[in-house]
Structure 1
């Protein structure tokens, strides 16, 4: 009995004392955030998460300059140049799974800090790469860190009221545009004279600032409730209400039914192990240790591919793949098309030289993301998520297809339009995707789709760089246009519209209520959460 009591003592206090849950009125996290509204507290979190998003954009925009610069210095082939970019996206694809699981298991704060530290370390080290092989390895590891970017989105999403979720998430996405523009301006200022190593090193510094400010970052109240830490979530909501000068709803925060059931099941299981002694601790136990990570991954995937979420998940995987293929394809096309223009190319000293006109056009094309975001913010809450997303994919297809009809003459204008709509699509996807997944798999679901987008990004250099270098830009442009048409059709078949709906905590997202839908399996035990 003493051993069983010690097990119960390890349970969250608000779960163990669940008998008080019937006393007085209760409210959900979503209801509390809607009552508190958006204020100073979320404004500070917006700035912090936005800076993290801008830092990631800096690293991504850097890729469009790094490949051509390394090609000039080391004389590598077009395929090797493309690999410098693709290896980063390969790393982000792998990192998205790991950081997503970490963010769901250990909290958004832990996942946020881990990914920033990892990205900064390998970003700095890659600036000192002595040869091509070391550069590829270090950039790939840096990409693993970049795979955790969705954790920042999930954290901010879970701190804002549902009525302003679309506009605020687009506001967060705008920091990506700021980061892209800053990197283009930085390359304009130092790339030709200082070289790519200084550009890589300086581009990593914003991540160091984020690590220094990490102690001020709050945890997600949704994650706290889903983890059975209702008292901690209540305290956090009180802090937000005090900072914003708004009251909480009457009553107290309702605990998560799934968290209580999972904690009870875990305690019962451990109690049976105590009563049964050491039986079963050999043989099977070793097998569980070996196959634990695979079992955990299969358990995490199960709710995404079952019930009402299956169709949504599969369609989103296609849309994310295509949008990344087109977005990064257009980013790389912006540089590759201009690096072969008059006055641009490799100098005799092995340094990339871009003319002022080409640098200006690259910078102008990067500013296209801002109007794309503003347009997404204007229509997302009024027209919903699905149809603006489908329309943007159609416009991207038209813009990239038009590059075939008027090569050279209208390149900057068409790239501007394509990048504007592509960024608008990204803004909608980053709002819509976490809205359709419940709290326990929200960062994992977003991470899986983000990983699929990295596959599209991984392919993009071989279209937008390799084919252009080999004199076949039309094939690249036509492929991007057809892919966007397929994505537009997929958008039309998405079954859920999430605009104005409260985030789901325990069950799958539903158009009508967070209580509807398939319930998730019990939460994994603490040992299963370890990566």
Structure 2
């Protein structure tokens, strides 16, 4: 496991470097290879999200994750604006080169990027973790609670009273789970493959399929709606020959339509902020997915220019909101991404003055709030995210290909089906993470 700071550096170098070099591709194969590397770099995005979660207040982590995701919207609008200006006059090479600049600018912030305190403690680097926590406290005009920072070794923060102890039951439960996990991991040298195979075991099959459907549906629909914005921009007149002409770089109306539809994600972000911490993750995702179906439905019967713009604008608003929330929900069910242990220990027991940054401890506390058991949870979430990316890959190969062949109605119905099934899958998620706070004892969670 690498720290969030290294993930930050990897993402910036890979996306900016490969992105800039792709502008100089001598042929199609080289272009695809370099864009593949850009995709690998972008895969580090969830690492940045998990790193960000450790620095925000737990009661409003959903809201702050939406705020973070809003910068995706800003980037989308920026890219659409850039394409609108650059492509007709200068071509795709200039577009790719200029698009790599924002990632390159990330490197300027690397020097001031703090490492995850939790990661540092897991590695036994508690002194460095204390430094990060003290800087956080100073910036927020607060003080660290008195007590000990406990990992593999103890660091004195302030004078500790005689009553400063860690909850024995918590430690015991954590130790038992740690021993169980070690025994399980020792059973094979191919622990990673075992974890993947367990995802499809009878016990976990339901949870696995539900997560896969949610991620696949959100990605397939989101990127599909983005592509449909250009594919259906000419209403009922789209057909194979005209469609080839419509994507020519001199067609400025194509970029204008993409630019306008990109603004749908701004109200989508506001909707996410309003509902994610109020009605919960499951209901928020389901309502957005089903509402997206409503917006897409008129396109089955008519695709005039105005109706197409309104329908795709509304559908993109809802899908972007759902896509944002599913990436909030997934980390909340993974112990690697979820909680700040400081809040857990200092608030769970007011008299407790020990700070415990140990992933094993609060993993055991979350036993009743898990889609997957500890041994396969990280693998489960990672595979689900990969399934979502497969949805994004298949979208232009399947749905958009139908539009190219003048099967617009079939394409719209396919999107309707995928979005609807994703909404149904979300409703059957095993639990709701809204209200799953850090300040509960093990007894409270029972």
Normalised to the residue count of structure 2, the TM-score between the two structures is 0.76
Q: Provide the residue aligned with 1:482 in structure 2.
A: 417
- For residues 177 and 462 of structure 1, the distance between their equivalents in structure 2, rounded to whole angstroms, comes to 25
**Equivalent of 1:354 in 251, 260, 267:** 251
Distance change (3 Å), C-alpha of 1:315 and 1:372:
same
The answer as to whether partners of 1:332 and 1:464 remain within 8 angstroms in 2 is: no
Q: Does 1:297 align with 2:192?
A: yes
Deviates more, 1:403-412 or 1:305-314: 305-314
The answer as to whether partners of 1:391 and 1:488 remain within 8 angstroms in 2 is: yes
Q: Provide the residue aligned with 2:68 in structure 1.
A: 172
Distance change (3 Å), C-alpha of 1:469 and 1:513:
farther
Question: Following superposition of structure 1 onto structure 2, how do residues 117-156 of structure 1 map, counting pairs within 5 Å?
Answer: 117-156=13-52
* 1:299 positional shift: 5.8
The answer as to whether partners of 2:272 and 2:325 remain within 8 angstroms in 1 is: yes
Normalised to the residue count of structure 1, the TM-score between the two structures is 0.64
**Equivalent of 2:233 in 331, 338, 341:** 338
Q: Provide the residue aligned with 1:28 in structure 2.
A: none
Distance change (3 Å), C-alpha of 1:513 and 1:333:
farther
Q: Provide the residue aligned with 1:91 in structure 2.
A: none
- For residues 371 and 514 of structure 1, the distance between their equivalents in structure 2, rounded to whole angstroms, comes to 40
Distance change (3 Å), C-alpha of 1:236 and 1:313:
farther
Distance change (3 Å), C-alpha of 1:346 and 1:455:
closer
**Equivalent of 1:497 in 421, 424, 432:** 432
Distance change (3 Å), C-alpha of 1:515 and 1:230:
farther
Deviations 1:488-511 (A, max 9, x none): 11111111211232469xxxxxx9
Q: CA RMSD in A?
A: 3.5
Distance change (3 Å), C-alpha of 1:478 and 1:177:
same
Q: Provide the residue aligned with 2:312 in structure 1.
A: 415
Question: Following superposition of structure 1 onto structure 2, how do residues 121-520 of structure 1 map, counting pairs within 5 Å?
Answer: 121-255=17-151, 295-298=190-193, 301=196, 311-338=206-233, 352-356=249-253, 358-409=254-305, 410-439=307-336, 446-502=381-437
Secondary structure in 1 matching 2:100: helix
* 1:308 positional shift: 8.7
* 1:338 positional shift: 2.6
- For residues 487 and 515 of structure 1, the distance between their equivalents in structure 2, rounded to whole angstroms, comes to 32
Distance change (3 Å), C-alpha of 1:443 and 1:187:
farther
Distance change (3 Å), C-alpha of 1:418 and 1:514:
farther
The answer as to whether partners of 1:119 and 1:142 remain within 8 angstroms in 2 is: yes
Structure 2: any 5+ residue segments left out of the alignment? 153-170, 337-358, 360-373
